[in-house]
Structure 1
Amino acid sequence: MQRGKGMKFVGDSRVPAEGRKPNIPKDYSEYPGKTEAFFPNFLLKEWMVGAVFLVGYLCLTVAHPSPLERMADPTDSGYIPLPDWYFLFLYQLLKYEYASGDFNVIGTVVIPGLAFGALLLAPWLDNGPERRASRRPIASALMFIGVLATVYLTWESVENHDWEAAAEQGQMLDEEEAELADQVDTEADGYQIYSDQGCIACHGDQLQGAGSAGPPLFDTQYDVETIKEIAVDGIGEMPPGQYDGSEEDLETLAQYIANGGSPDGGDETGGDDAEGEETAEDGEAEEETEE
């Protein structure tokens, strides 16, 4: 045999290839008819299914737009939070005694970490060749427990949530109420007392109310004396003893609330002009006295 006869250097780029092989899936005799080429056969199916779901989701968002709530108020301590539906099971988990409070780390880190870690390890814990769920007990049991716990906690979260209070607290103000809220004077002394006494937590930063926590005050029908009594003695779900300031500040606060958030009864000239008018009236009174 001559040197090099019958040999071909297939790894040498200078030797042209005989031709491309067709994109035919490998023949696995143990799985007849169950194999196909990843590209483009399998990948094209995935893209088509994804496109159908995407179009369906876009149609759903057009037909049922996301509901809008009122503007977020960081001072509203009575707001009832609710996460998105896919986090409701974790939200419900944190309501239990040994997963919240002093044990908050257990509910937020330990339990979810163990659960998701077990699901991640499932392929290695049960790595047999069987494809049926009944013949892969470890992986199937972990998946069943995970799905069951998620569904149960999500259901409990939905059942225990106060949907009426949530709808009330998220209700947006109408045009008239929004206009009244915009007219609230946040620079007045009454507003400072209103904020210091913690009224802002239940009645909003513009006296617009906070849903079920407290009604709006910019259009209250109570007079000054009634407001003073309510601040001290409480009313309805408002407990007594909420006010702990002086009588002078209580009078200023009651006047401010009775006037709809305006210290001068809604006079557009503002507090400075009102003080100037009072000074002028005092001067005229003094002149009449001297005469």
Structure 2
Amino acid sequence: MHKGKGMKFVGDSRITTDRKPNVPKDYSEYPGRTEAFWPNFLLKEWLVGAVFLVGFLCLTLAHPSPLEGMADPTNASYIPLPDWYFLFLYELLKYEFASQNYILMGILVLPGIAFGALLLAPFLDNGPGRRPHQRPISVGMMLLALASVIWLTYESAANVDWESRAEANKPIPPGEQAEIDTEHAGYAVYENSCLSCHGDNLQGGGAGPSLIGIDKSAEEIATIAKEGIGSMPPDQFAGTDEELEQLVDFIVSVNEQSEE
């Protein structure tokens, strides 16, 4: 026991006097379990990112994103669709338990439970193991979420004719836009019977294709107006024969003008 300035120090043989600096062990002491961040780990991350970026760029060159025309707030027939990464939520709203009277279930409750479960997965399964079979809860929840997203996205995309939609809604250059004669007798008939599906300039919309540049005779146009074609149901036109003749003459005149 030593005295110094009123303080007493007691020595204990059970406490070592050697002090070791708080330095982590060298990577060589963990063979096969870890690696240096620079350059080993960072180089692998960069290579994976580069491969993904090149693949993504090739995909965009092979299949460009279809562009649609300018937004038209007066076109009530246009059916908006979310981007591809939200199609699974869009498809979810088509089910009876997530739509109409249960719409809150589809837009809040089910997505909230799904994303909340993914956030809680690391805390529910916090074992030391990193292999999939050692983390059954986290792996199971992730596989369930991945399968659900893939299936809902596939179901949503399979029910949309993307090529026809892109063709119907593609931008029309100003030089190719037909001038519509609103004074034509058939324009009033078109406005009452066809405008909601085919647009105010016959450029088409979400429910109907463009009527400009169609390779149809006057008789064929009249038959389609009465009997329908493709996704267009019959009996869409309910006017008189005189009004049908005016409508056909209007559509033909617009197409003749666009060819000039």
TM-score bracket for the superposition, by shorter chain length: 0.5 to 0.7
Q: CA deviation at 1:257?
A: 1.9
The CA RMSD measured in Å over matched residues stands at 4.4
Residues 154-193 of structure 1, C-alpha deviation per residue, up to 9 Å, x if partnerless? 232344x143xx422322699xx98774222357786466
Identify if the C-alpha distance between structure 1 residues 82 and 58 changes in structure 2 by more than 3 Å, giving closer, same or farther.
Answer: same
**CA contact under 8 A between 2:168 and 2:206: conserved in structure 1?**
no
**CA contact under 8 A between 1:203 and 1:214: conserved in structure 2?**
yes
- Spell out the pairing of 1:222-241 with structure 2 (5 A cutoff): 222=218, 234-236=226-228, 237-240=232-235
TM-score (norm 2): 0.65
Match of 2:167 in 1: 171
Farther off after superposition, 66-75 or 53-62? 66-75
**CA contact under 8 A between 1:190 and 1:253: conserved in structure 2?**
yes
Residues 244-283 of structure 1, C-alpha deviation per residue, up to 9 Å, x if partnerless? 8xx9x95996487256359xx97xxxxxxxxxxxxxxxxx
How far, CA to CA, are the matches of 1:88 and 1:145 in structure 2? 17
Residues 76-108 of structure 1, C-alpha deviation per residue, up to 9 Å, x if partnerless? 555555444332322221111111223222212
**CA contact under 8 A between 1:217 and 1:260: conserved in structure 2?**
no
* 1:260 aligns to 2:256 (yes or no): no
Q: CA deviation at 1:124?
A: 0.9
How far, CA to CA, are the matches of 2:58 and 2:233 in structure 1? 46
Identify if the C-alpha distance between structure 1 residues 65 and 253 changes in structure 2 by more than 3 Å, giving closer, same or farther.
Answer: same
Match of 2:11 in 1: none
How far, CA to CA, are the matches of 1:235 and 1:207 in structure 2? 20
How far, CA to CA, are the matches of 1:235 and 1:146 in structure 2? 45
Q: CA deviation at 1:121?
A: 0.6
TM-score (norm 1): 0.59
How far, CA to CA, are the matches of 2:113 and 2:126 in structure 1? 20
Give the residue type in structure 1 aligned to 2:167.
Q
Identify if the C-alpha distance between structure 1 residues 65 and 135 changes in structure 2 by more than 3 Å, giving closer, same or farther.
Answer: closer
Match of 2:194 in 1: 199
Q: CA deviation at 1:127?
A: 1.3
Q: CA deviation at 1:69?
A: 4.8
How far, CA to CA, are the matches of 2:145 and 2:63 in structure 1? 31
How far, CA to CA, are the matches of 2:93 and 2:212 in structure 1? 35
Match of 1:287 in 2: none
Q: How many residues align?
A: 229
* 1:183 aligns to 2:179 (yes or no): yes
How far, CA to CA, are the matches of 1:126 and 1:103 in structure 2? 32
**CA contact under 8 A between 1:207 and 1:218: conserved in structure 2?**
no
Identity in percent:
44
Larger Rg: 1
Q: 3-state DSSP class of the match of 2:129?
A: coil
How far, CA to CA, are the matches of 1:107 and 1:189 in structure 2? 48
Match of 2:64 in 1: 66
Give the residue type in structure 1 aligned to 2:93.
L
Q: CA deviation at 1:128?
A: 1.7
**CA contact under 8 A between 1:99 and 1:107: conserved in structure 2?**
yes
* 1:130 aligns to 2:123 (yes or no): no
Residues 203-244 of structure 1, C-alpha deviation per residue, up to 9 Å, x if partnerless? 222123447635617867438xx96x997xx43245547568
- Give the gaps of 5 or more residues in structure 1: 4-23, 267-291
